[in-house]
Structure 1
Amino acid sequence: MDVRGLFNKMFQRQDNSPHDQRIVNPVLPRLSLEFVKERAIIGWMANRMGEYLSWNKGARDFLFFKSFLSKEESDENELLKLSELMFQWCTKGENVPEKIKHKRLAPSLETAFLNVYREYSEYCKRVNSEPAVIAQNDPNGDLNMWGVYRDVMYAATQRRFLLISNDELEVYMQGTILLEQEVKERADIAVCREKTKDVFQTLGIEPSTIMSWQLAISEAVTNILKHAEYGRMSVMENGEEIQVIIMDKGPGFALNELPNTVLMAGYSTKKSLGQGFTLMMKMTHQVLLNTTPNGSTIILIFKKAGRRK
């Protein structure tokens, strides 16, 4: 998976931070699922330490994305090197507070390191104790792994998949309603296909494009019947975009399973879509997901001119 172009754009520094001023031409390794998970955690650790040290947001965000470069590149930054150590020590079950003492860091840096270590330890305890569904923005503001997963999946899918919060969901629910349809039984899948076809034809969409869009819609609607008791599909027009909104009353998606579901074609558990997200991303301009323990909303965004090349 090649996201070099995206990272090149992100690494065009705009702020006046003294940290990592030069423009980076990243050499990215092959982005396996395990690599993405590991580097996301390391990037989050560096970002949080930067926040404790009062770095500006541009410099902190830059650290997060730089964590995905080759190890030689990322090791040039002290916070990333410390984050690498923290991750390794945590993985091996080492006494992290004791080990960091021997590094003889500046007091402010050691304090930032230990604060982030405590946050990460608390997160690991929560994840290991219960398979919690994604929490949007920690209420204490200390831990936002939801945001880390959001950023990683957005970058790794080349902006085709975006995890959205409840507040953001409202933005995508605006426009002119063209169609609404309940989904209760398998026969409703065909009903959704036929009704959306009629709507798209009325809008003048090309037949071949309609067929592609219907595949994506079928996958999203089928998910309701797999994992929820009831759902609803809406089609909305908003300028040059068409939004197909599929809402259900199911159990939601667990944070630790979501990267597998989105990034790995064919990955499937009883709460995942299997081929679903992969297919939907190919057939749409963008796929958005809002998920809670009380239900999920998948939004398929299509461009009237056809799907993005």
Structure 2
Amino acid sequence: MKMRLTKDFRGSHSSSGLAMISDAECRKLIDMMSEGLVRTDAEHKFIFVNQQFSKMLGYPPAELVGHSMSEFVHADDSKLLLQQITERRRGKEGRYEIRWVAKDGHSIHTLVAARPVFDDDKHFIGSVAVLTDISDYKQTVQALAEAETMYRSLAEESLVGVYIIQDGRFVYANPKLADIFGYTPDEIVQEKTVMDLVAPESRALVEENIRRRIDKEVAGIHYSFKGMRSDGTTIDVEVYGSGITFRGKPAVLGTLLDVTEEKAMEESLRESEEKFRTLAENAAVAIGVIQGRHFVYANPYLIELSGYTLEELLKTDISEFIHPDFRNVILDRARRRQMGEDLPTHYEFKMIAKNGEERWMDMSLGRIQYGGKPAIVGVAYDVTERKKAEERERELEQTKREFYRRTILAATDGKLEITEREEIEPLIGEPLAFWDIAKGEDLSRIRHAVAEIAEAQGMDPSRRFDLALCAGEACTNALKHAGGGSASLHKVRDSLVLAVSDHGPGIETLTLPEVALVRGYSTAGTLGMGYKAILSVADKVYLATDPGGTTIAIVMRIEQMEDQRPVQGCLVFEKRSGITS
């Protein structure tokens, strides 16, 4: 049998010198082979397997010999095995791939080279085959196929253009790249050269960068150039490409982005920044940009106003420029504004210059992005002179009011005192009654109610009448000149006090003497009883008026004095803020 096997394996190659090798040496060579070697009979059963084939399947030779090949072939390849057996019976040699199932159950891919064996009478007696284990190769091929499928899927669905360039042409272009340039992928690959998609002014640059990667001068390049679409319009594109080997030849694999809009935005932003800087540099107002607690930009006016150099200004914490009275509020608002909170954008504060000088600033603020980070841009006007003028005006107004107060107090023999609203309210106490003044019908109701309460408090009839008239006149003024207000009646020791308040425009300082002393004078041009008439019957009147409204407090003793004259101090008010009674 051994001699027969050796003869079968030698076959028709005895002329090559194999005949000079002994059977023992031939058997030794067969067992040393790195490929599997098998011999089957006419029934396709193994009659010989070498050590390598035994090792491939994990079976010892004794468990293979005498068994049919079909017992060890993968079920999915059974039909292929039958086809190949038929070919051997017909005397044909064959090369094919087939899978076997190893003893531990895993599949083994093999490349088979088989030829038929005939006896001397030309009868088919089996086959002899050499089997090469290609499982690792198959796994590699499968992994490559999967990787290519995954790459192609990613490339096909990519939001950026993906390409492969070889020999000056595109060998691959994904749909996004085609869309960017206004073609289909097939048009780019089959009809266009690389330079067809590059604007003339950029062709030298692109050609050189492709050459550098093909020649492996650089591994990869990231740059921008002008592309040309199918309609002839130019676009700005940005690419990153690397040198690769594709199908055995040098190539460039890269990605491409259409950055036309971004470039336009960058140019617009650059122009806007240039305009802003030109405007800011020549503005007669302080303009600065703040990030965190430092200036990152300051225009010349701000630099001059602060007294610092630009370098000093940018290095100094902004708290150093803010007066202590405003520091905490402004720093807190700056922090919160940079975090995105909506806060007041306009306010006034005091700034401290390097030399310690205090300046009043009128500031308007906005939230911006500066250098990719949140920032605050501020525009500030120096309003120091305006503030000084307002302070002088307030002092003058106060002086005039004090002069008129003293003049009126003297002219009315102490009956009318010009004071402040906050000086009246704490002194008159809780009300006996309170009324809203909203419409004409309220005037009669209030007059009658005042008269009834005065009567209940023991006030004699003539004084009750006078108090009711005072109530009617004061409430009428509130309704006509301020659109309404409120009235209340109080008892303080031996007197009744009628208080009427409104939120109208108040009485101007210059008209106070006429209002108080001229009978029938009205600030609205309507004649009425007037404050002079009220003074003629009241024991004392307190008047507080400012742009926020007017409050009048009319004091009348419950009991009438014999000489009909008011007695100083009939209603004792504490002396507060220059108010005397």
Provide the TM-score with structure 1 as the length reference: 0.52
Corresponding residue of 2:433: 179
For 1:135-214, what aligned pairs fall within 5 Å after superposition? 138=395, 144-174=399-429, 176-214=430-468
> CA–CA distance in 2 between the matches of 1:143 and 1:203?
39
Distance 1:205-1:270 versus aligned 2 partners, 3 A rule: same
Q: Which amino acid aligns with 2:504?
A: G
Q: CA RMSD in A?
A: 2.5
Specify whether residues 205 and 166 from structure 1 end up closer, same or farther in structure 2 by C-alpha distance, changes over 3 A only.
closer
Opposite residue 263 of structure 1, the aligned amino acid is L
Residue from 229, 232, 247 that aligns with 2:501:
247
Return the offset for 1:274.
4.8
Shift of 1:289: 0.6
- Residue 275 (structure 1) aligned with residue 564 (structure 2): no
Q: CA deviation at 1:173?
A: 3.1
Q: Following TM superposition, by how much is the alpha carbon of 1:290 offset from its aligned partner in structure 2, in angstroms? A: 0.5
What residue identity is the alignment partner of 2:467?
A: W
Counterpart in the other structure of 1:233: 487
**For the residues of structure 2 that align with 1:280 and 1:153, how far apart are their CA atoms?**
14
Instruction: Quote the offset at 1:172 in angstroms.
Output: 3.0
- 2 CA distance for matches of 1:269 and 1:166? 20
How many residue pairs get aligned? The number is: 174
Give the SS at the match of 2:432.
Answer: strand
| Residue 156 of structure 1: how far off its partner (Å) | 0.5
CA distance, structure 2, for counterparts of residue 254 and residue 145 of structure 1: 11
Judge conservation of contact 2:436–2:486 (CA < 8 Å) in 1: yes
Q: Deviations over 1:214-256 (max 9, x none)?
A: 1111111110111012210000111112110001111100001
SS state of the match for residue 243, structure 1?
Answer: strand
DSSP 3-state at the match of 2:436 = strand
Shift of 1:204: 1.3
**Which stretches in structure 2 are left out of the alignment for 5+ residues?**
1-388, 566-581
Residue 444 of structure 2 aligns to which amino acid in structure 1? A
Give the AA of the match of 2:447.
R
The code of the aligned residue for 1:181 comes to W
1:13-60 Cα distance to aligned partner (Å, 9 max, x none): xxxxxxxxxxxxxxxxxxxxxxxxxxxxxxxxxxxxxxxxxxxxxxxx
Structure with more of its chain in helix, by fraction: 1
Are the structure 2 counterparts of residues 271 and 149 from structure 1 closer, same or farther at C-alpha, using a change threshold of 3 Å?
Answer: farther
Partner deviation per Cα, 1:129-151 (whole Å, 9 max, x = no partner): xxxxxx6xx3xx99522111100
The CA deviation at 1:180 is 0.4
Question: What's the offset of the Cα at 1:167?
Answer: 3.8
The one-letter amino acid paired with 1:169 is: I
Deviation at 1:212, TM superposition (A): 1.4
- Structure 1: distance between partners of 2:500 and 2:547: 16
SS at match of 2:431: strand
Task: Evaluate the alpha carbon distance shift between residue 261 and residue 198 of structure 1 in structure 2; reply closer, same or farther with a 3 A threshold.
Answer: same
Alignment partners' CA distance in 2, 1:191 and 1:255: 32
AA paired with 1:295? G
Asked whether the equivalents of residues 253 and 271 of structure 1 are also in contact (C-alpha less than 8 Å), the reply is no
d(CA) in 1 for partners of 2:434, 2:397: 40
Larger radius of gyration: 2
**3-state DSSP of counterpart to 1:177:** coil
1:66-107 CA-to-partner distances (Å, cap 9, x unmatched) read: xxxxxxxxxxxxxxxxxxxxxxxxxxxxxxxxxxxxxxxxxx
* Separation in 2, partners of 1:244, 1:224: 14
CA distance in 2, matches of 1:271, 1:172: 33
TM-score of the superposed pair, with normalisation by structure 2: 0.28
Query: Could you tell me the percent identity over the aligned residues?
Result: 26
Question: Could you tell me how far 1:273 is from its partner in structure 2?
Answer: 6.9
Q: Closer, same or farther in 2 for the Cα pair 1:282/1:195, shift >3 Å? A: same
Distance in 2 between residues matched to 1:292 and 1:257, nearest whole Å: 12
* 147 and 285 in structure 1: CA distance in 2 versus 1, 3 angstrom threshold: same
**Comparing both chains, which one has the higher relative contact order based on Cα–Cα distances under 8 Å and sequence gaps of 6 or more?**
1
- Asked whether 1:222 is paired with 2:476, we answer yes
